A and B are shown apart, each in its own frame.
Chain A
């Protein structure tokens, strides 16, 4: 056994898993409050990363400024997307809404290729120190930052839903839109807010991964990776999304290790999460924390 490699991979798994958790949380947020299965979640990462890259390279803004501009852009983007594309779909059959989000996903992938090209573009240097040593392991600075950002976002979500009035309004809307309206909550605003938050937070994850791996089409693939995480955790559970994300991250890296050491089939890293997806759907279709009577599509 190569313990060094294993611990290194599991550390990576934890960090990337936390990011999956964050994106999964965004996915669940939209699902819970608007009952939309968003197949374009990965494109939020892609768009966020490209826009931030554009601010940093073309405009040569400092990282923090470009980052904040990106967040502002994604807020507007989320609200506009919800208002223009998804609001007219309210009340339509769920399968139509899914088709729309799949269409959005294809559209944004193509649009990003058209605007920014097909090559992988590295981010300008953000940190002076590329890697730092933790317990004898070399970890990319961006990954350490990402772990802190993930934790910060998770605590932020917890606070938002438990203690803020908008969080309370969102929980109320998720439970019963009609009753929420009778209490003076604007369901339209709550929907727009859910999409805006989801877009912004996903973009943060996209930027972090972009800093490490460069910005390219493959970022959108995270949106697909999120499905095993969300199904594992339960489609309508925020906590489940985090747990599912971390488990998938760890599992993926463990699969990489097992593959390299023993099986030698290659690509286990990519495939393993989807084995989990299939197995979970067979034995525990509502996931670890999901509501049992939830509607499946």
Chain B
């Protein structure tokens, strides 16, 4: 699955909030088709890094290349149009909309017809286009097994289902690269297994490159092709899962002596 050409190159980025250094000289690359995980203790800068990639934050130093294009200064919506999808750590569904509408928002930028050509519904191809988008949305719905709730209002669903709908919405963009921020936080074992299966399928069958932040080490070591460890905003290790497990520094900083707080984080 994994090709040789890099889809994302992060070069030496630093991000500061006032005097706080959230990220210091972080560099890494992700190859096309890879399933890449970022781990690290709470406050290590994982989500800040993801936000730099997706464009919410602009790093003060360094550059980010996506599909060989410089994107460091681009707006998040522009990056989304280029094929970068993401989910959020805290659920961010459009709570008042139905599941289907949530997914259709993700199709938004791919629709060509505006309201003028749409007015010629049957002639201008608007109907055909609408059907195509609906078909793709239905594919996603089938794949994530949420067909029974497609007309439900998102805010009324259980936590696990909402996480799945959020994933569906990000997939709806048909991104080349999908960024997942703690997709399994707060899930029970069964839900976690389902989610892991969806992520692996997205990667292998749908051909999406995945960058995932996750605390559950079992899952991370199981499904990732490569893992990067962040601590205090620095890239302290990067490699195959078994190399990471064996790395002394990693053991000390993250896997080893767990503080109570981190232990809680993993249970949650």
Contacts and interface: CB of A to CB of B under 8 A. Distances in A.
Contacts of B92: 176, 178-179
A179 B77 contact: no
B118 interface: yes
* Chain B interface bracket (under 10, 10 to 19, 20 to 34, 35 or more): 20 to 34
Contacts of A165: 108, 111
B128 interface: no
Contacts of A185: 77, 80, 105, 108-109
A187 B75 CA distance: 10
A174 to B, nearest CB: 9
B162 to A, nearest CB: 13
A181 B111 contact: no
Interface string B164-195: 00000110110000000000000000000000
Interface in A156-176: 160, 164-166, 168-169, 171-172, 175-176
Interface string A169-206: 10110011011111111110000000000000000000
B165 to A, nearest CB: 12
Contacts of A171: 94, 96-97
Contacts of A181: 55-56, 75-77, 80
B14 interface: no
| Binding site secondary structure of chain B | helix
A182 B54 contact: yes
Contacts of A164: 115, 118
Contacts of B61: none
Interface stretch (B81-89, B208-216, B240-248): B81-89
Q: Which among A166, A178, A179 has the greatest number of chain B C-beta atoms within 10 A?
A: A179
A180 B92 CA distance: 10
B104 interface: yes
Nearest to B111: A165
B120 interface: no
B106 A183 contact: yes
Contacts of B108: 165, 168-169, 172, 183-185
B156 to A, nearest CB: 15
B56 A183 contact: no
Contacts of A180: 77, 105
Interface residues of A, number: 20
A101 B219 CA distance: 53
A281 B92 CA distance: 31
Nearest to B106: A183
Interface string B103-133: 0111011010011001000000000000000
Contact of B115 (A166, A168, A175, A176): A166
B139 to A, nearest CB: 18
Contact of B101 (A168, A178, A184, A187): A168
B95 interface: yes
A187 B94 contact: no
A160 B86 CA distance: 27
Contacts of A176: 92, 94
A166 B95 CA distance: 18
B115 A183 contact: no
Interface in A119-137: none
B80 A182 contact: yes
B115 A187 contact: no
A184 B111 CA distance: 11
A293 to B, nearest CB: 13
Contacts of B80: 181-185
A182 B109 CA distance: 11
Contacts of B106: 183-184
A187 B56 contact: no
Contact of A183 (B78, B101, B105, B118): B105
Given A164-B118, A169-B105, A182 B94 contact: no
B105 A182 contact: no
Contacts of B111: 165
Contacts of B77: 180-187
B115 to A, nearest CB: 6
A240 to B, nearest CB: 14
Contacts of B54: 182
Nearest to B94: A175
B81 A184 contact: yes
A275 to B, nearest CB: 33
Interface of A: 160, 164-166, 168-169, 171-172, 175-176, 178-187
9 contacts: A166-B114, A172-B94, A172-B108, A182-B56, A182-B85, A182-B88, A183-B109, A183-B172, A185-B109
